[in-house]
Structure 1
Amino acid sequence: MSLPTEMRYVALPSFGPPEAMTIVKGPLPVLKPGEILVRVEAIGVNRPDIAQRQGTYPPPKEASPILGLEIAGEVVDVAEGTREFAIGNKVCGLTNGGAYAEYCVLPAGQALRFPNGYDAIKAAALPENYFTVWANLFQMAGLTEGESVLIHGGSSGIGTTAIQLAHAFGAEVFTTAGSKEKCEACEKLGARRAINYREEDFAEVIKAETAHGVDAILDMVGADYLERNLASLAKDGCLSIIAFLSGSMAEKVNLAPIMVKRLTITGSTMRPRSPEEKRAIRDELLSEVWPLLDAGTIAPLIDKTFAFDDVVEAHRLMETSSHIGKIMLRVG
């Protein structure tokens, strides 16, 4: 397959607001062992992209400085010795950076086939959220059938994914969201109770609706929610923290519930994980989650799709937090 020598990509000359991004031309990325080159058809927009643009989430030293963590498209080149995928395959995947471009390298161990019947937009809406939720809620927090979970930010890409997965695997789901419309959307996805955090105290609702609290909490808010999260957990419960939208420094928090209820607090970011760890998550997604996607039992919720040239508008929408589900970019 004949490839162009240049591609269009989103450059970030300096940190700042959405307008700091600009689309320029440059050379295609060079494959390293274990990688595939993908002609990008769709890109997912995520909170880490916003943080990187603002200068608070730098990419790892060896990663592409170009924004973006998830793509879908067609394999157009394969590194020597890489046999999992072939030229012409349709794949989506979790990149180490470089997604905001017409061509992107993708580690083969972080690539997945399109679920049955999926186009590039739906496929690109999967990797970042599904890797994150599976690793933090199911692997680390150990959520299982018959348990209960509180998912904060239920209308976000992470939240809508976590609600559906937890419900599909037999957990009782509670969630928080910031409007009546968002709460209704969360309940349609499988939440037993969606709590409007602008009108209700989620800790009081959990206390009233459960006998002992929930078994797990998936939190991206951070400091402002810590004490109420601890109060909302049942004995032997686990708080899994994946972001700090309200800050990372909590002061004067009563830590006694951690000892009294034998609680676990854990957390992680996906980007620094090793290739082996990401491959292991990928393999579990293929065996445990992809059959649900193939069957239509679960599916990504997409709020709006923008043209690649409108990336600034996509970031502006993300910053309003008014969306329900994923924000996507279509390339070409």
Structure 2
Amino acid sequence: MHGKAALITGAANGIGRALALQLASAGAAVTVADIDGAAAEKVAAEISSRGGRAIALPCDVSNSAQHLEAFRRHAQAWGRLDYALLNAGIGESGDLVWCKSPSAWQKTLDIDLRAVAEGVRLAARTMLTGSPEGRRSDSPGGERAAGAGTGPGGQHKPVIMITASAGGVFPMPVSPVYAASKAGCVQLTRSLAEPLARQGIRICALCPQFVDTALVRDIQKADAATAAELMRDTHSRLLSVDQVTQAGMALLTDPSKVGTCLVVLANGSWVEPQLARFKSVAKPASAAAAAVDPALRAWALAGDPGSASSALPASSTRVIEVHRLSTDFRAATRIVQRPLPAALPDGSVLLRRLYAGINASDVNYSAGRYFGSKAAAEKRLPFEAGFEAVGVVAAAAPGVVLPVGQPVATMTYGGFAEWAVVSAKHVFPLPQATPEMVALMTSGLTASIALDQAGLRKGQTVLVTAAAGGTGQLAVQLALLAGCRVVGTCSGGAKAELLRSLGCHRVISYREEDVKAVLKREYPKGVDVVYESVGGDMFDICVGALAPRGRLIIIGAMSQYAGGWEARQYPGIAEKLLWKSATLQGFFLLHYARDWGRHLNKLAGLVAAGKLHVQMDPRRFVGLESVADAVEHLQSGRSMGKVFVQIAAEVPAAAAARPAAIAAARARL
């Protein structure tokens, strides 16, 4: 921090004082700003006595003129602003419900939230232009301060750090206005992270539970009962100022902490809350029914002629079942007629299927590889095939809040069926019932969850094998959305064109280029993450291409499936991983079922927003009779995008594939 400059509000006591001393001892010039000017002078004098550089300024952050003047005088004194620590704050002031004057509780909002937002604005302007009154750096004639931005080799970026509170993450019934203010600081930090990062500024927030400071001790003295209630969840345990200061310095010095809100718990541990996770809740029946497309509802109720005597729109269904174990899907399966129940079991729905997805692992399933052993699989014969399907609700058991006509997806065995009775808890409502939604199931969920497990970070290099396939195309786009540089392998031709159109930085055609040689020549430092689904020789190449601390996610081994998936030998693989501190991580989608709903909602949202393009294979397969053809098409290596089968002979216009996307794919071929 030598040569840097910091401004700290609320710096005369507690956390602010400790951070001021730490930054000064690390070489930074410090502006000690506090409403108590005399106390600020003492801290500045202490810094000077230790050989540091500091000035003291009286500053009431609730007074906009004083706040502005503090930043102005800091800029005049030091000529730059590298660290702005917005630490000033107060506790709950007045009872929100019973106080006679609103000015009492509004004081908490003014200091703990409004003044913080103002401080962020003043700090950003000073960092970018050298003055809290300066013009934006991206406007004509705008100038950056000497310390702003970043340069080659990871030069320092200025940091704004807000002292928020764990009360901004957890509820505080005794201090609702304080909690609301700190929650505002947390969301201010998270929301400004990306806009400020684009201008070369990093923002983060320090969120401790109760700290042994004068503020907390005053609360304990004034109202022991209130203090006990406030600190009930921490068992009256207080953090030391040093513990919080260590966390603050870690935020200031770690360039990866962008928009981070670091909670320091009373036991001394650190956590980063994930505030964007939501729990799905069912809509009331009236609201759900109102959103259904009438055409889909009519189609779902049309049923079959033989169901006239049934309470349901269908009395039987055709399904594809595996009757003998084989990787030859056509030989292993047959189409059979199965009866449907006259009444639905509790908690279930009757689905009319529109589309089913084809996956490389369909031949693994027909070979009985997912039952623990061949003997176990043979005992299950016959069993229904198909992993994923999209359709509409045709009927629901009493109490199930899924209206007739609701588009849904399923990830249950037996996807190759015209009708199906499924537990409502295994049904995922969809915004539309198009083939693109099929691609978001096994293929999309695998890409989204696996890359999430890989811990993608902006700037990493990601290698995707079979990148033009059903899951590869989505992995490419999700990695691009994460800010990564993406390399994709394919067989060339139209597939290479597709990958380039999606934004893939480097497309390697394994029929035209030596993949191993290209990776060694163009990526000598290795790749950070590999999304690998081919297996065999390609797997060996990918292991060799890993960067130090790289991670290879094993999605599958498609090249080995049809031949029996014989176990391969990998001599020297332990030494390769050890030498690079690299990681191999297997990924089997069924182990992440609890994450399906959240990731499916994310993917559907990206498609709706136009940020994720789903390429469907242009070859058309209709009816259960064509499923074996579709499986063989995928296994042939000639497919491009997601292979799917239209289960129903005719589908309503609202559920049809996008003609423009299919036409474009056919044109490429």
Counterpart in the other structure of 2:598: 283
Higher helix content, 1 or 2: 2
Instruction: Report percent identity of matched pairs.
Output: 28
Cα shift at 1:130: 1.2
Residue equivalent to 1:146: 459
Which one of 596, 620, 627 corresponds to residue 305 of structure 1?
A: 620
Per-residue CA deviation, residues 30-58 of structure 1 (Å, 9 max, x unaligned), is 97776543211111111121222234344
Aligned residue for 2:621, secondary structure, equals strand
CA contact (8 A) 1:146 1:172 kept: yes
Distance 1:219 1:175 in 2: 10
**1:193 correspondence with 2:512:** no
1:15 aligns with 2:325: yes
For residue 68 of structure 1, report the CA deviation from its aligned partner: 0.8
| Alpha-carbon separation, structure 2, partners of 1:36 and 1:297 | 32
The answer to whether the 8 A contact 2:408-2:433 is kept is: no
In the alignment, the residues of structure 2 paired with residue 188 and residue 107 of structure 1 have an alpha-carbon distance, to the nearest angstrom, of 40
Written as runs of structure 1 = structure 2, the 5 A alignment for 1:23-42 is: 23-28=335-340, 36-42=349-355
CA separation in 2, counterparts of 1:71 and 1:111?
Answer: 10
Aligned-residue offset at 1:297: 1.8
- Following superposition, the deviation at residue 109 of structure 1 comes to 5.4
> Which protein is richer in strand relative to its size?
1
Residue matched to 1:258: 577
Task: Write the distance in 1 (CA, Å) between the matches of 2:423 and 2:503.
Answer: 33
Pair 1:215–1:71, CA change in 2 (3 A) = same
Choose the corresponding residue for 1:98, options 410, 414, 431. Answer: 414
What is the aligned residue count? 322
Aligned partner of 2:180 in structure 1 is none
Asked if the contact 1:63/1:97 (under 8 Å) is kept, the reply is no
CA 1:307–1:58: 2 relative to 1, 3 Å: farther
- How far did residue 78 of structure 1 move? 4.0
Deviation at 1:292, TM superposition (A): 1.1
State the partner residue of 1:88. Answer: 405
Aligned to 1:121: 435
Selected match of 1:327 from 599, 620, 643: 643
- Indicate the SS of the match to 1:326: coil
Name the stretch that deviates more: 160-169 or 54-63: 54-63
CA spacing shift, 1:243–1:265, aligned 2, 3 Å? same
> Distance in 1 between the 2:476 and 2:496 partners?
12
Partner residue, 2:313: 3
1:230 maps onto 2:543 in alignment: yes
Distance across 2 between alignment mates of 1:302 and 1:137: 21
Cα distance, 1:35–1:234 mapped onto 2, change above 3 Å:
farther
Q: Secondary structure at the match of 1:182?
A: helix
1:223, 1:250 within 8 Å by CA — same for their partners in 2? no
SS at match of 1:212: coil
User: Which has the higher relative contact order, 1 or 2, with Cα contacts under 8 A spaced 6 or more apart?
Assistant: 1
When normalised by structure 2's length, the TM-score is 0.45
Q: Is the 8 A contact 2:392 2:433 kept in 1?
A: no
Indicate the SS of the match to 1:74: strand
Cα root mean square deviation, aligned: 2.8
Partners in 2 of 1:96 and 1:32 — Cα distance? Answer: 17
Kindly state the Cα deviation for residue 216 of structure 1 after the two structures are TM-superposed. 0.5
Q: CA deviation at 1:81?
A: 5.9
Candidates 351, 369, 373, aligned match of 1:56: 369
Given residue 392 of structure 2, which amino acid in structure 1 is its aligned partner? E
- Which whole-Å CA distance do the structure 1 matches of 2:320 and 2:505 have between them? 41
1:234 alignment partner, SS class: strand
In the alignment, structure 1 residue 210 sits paired with structure 2 residue 523: yes
TM-score relative to the length of structure 1? 0.86
Pairwise CA distance, 1:177: 0.9
- Helix, strand or coil for the counterpart of 1:238? strand
Could you list the runs of 5+ residues in structure 2 that have no partner in the other structure?
1-300, 302-311, 649-669
Amino acid at match of 2:438: A
Question: For the residues of structure 1 that align with 2:397 and 2:521, how far apart are their CA atoms?
Answer: 56
Distance of aligned partners of 1:264 and 1:63 in 2 relative to their CA distance in 1, 3 Å threshold: farther
In 2, Cα distance between equivalents of 1:33 and 1:249: 47
- The answer to whether the 8 Å contact 1:42/1:331 transfers is yes
Question: CA, structure 1 residues 238+82, in 2 after alignment: closer, same or farther (shift >3 Å)?
Answer: farther
Conservation of the 8 A alpha-carbon contact between 2:554 and 2:585: yes
Note if contact 2:441-2:600 (Cα within 8 Å) is conserved in structure 1. Answer: no
Alpha-carbon distance change, 108 to 305 in structure 1, aligned in 2, over 3 angstroms:
farther
Q: Deviations over 1:1-28 (max 9, x none)?
A: 7232210111222234343232221023
Note closer, same or farther for the CA distance 1:323–1:86 as it changes in structure 2 (3 Å cut): same
Asked if 2 retains the 8 angstrom alpha-carbon contact of 1:64 and 1:96, the reply is: no
Q: Which has the larger radius of gyration?
A: 2
Q: Deviations over 1:205-227 (max 9, x none)?
A: 22332352211001112342344
How many Å separate the matches in 1 of 2:368 and 2:464?
A: 27
Checking the alignment, whether the CA contact within 8 Å between 2:407 and 2:433 is kept in structure 1 is: no
Aligned counterparts of 2:483 and 2:382: Cα–Cα separation in 1: 39
Distance 1:97 1:63 in 2: 14
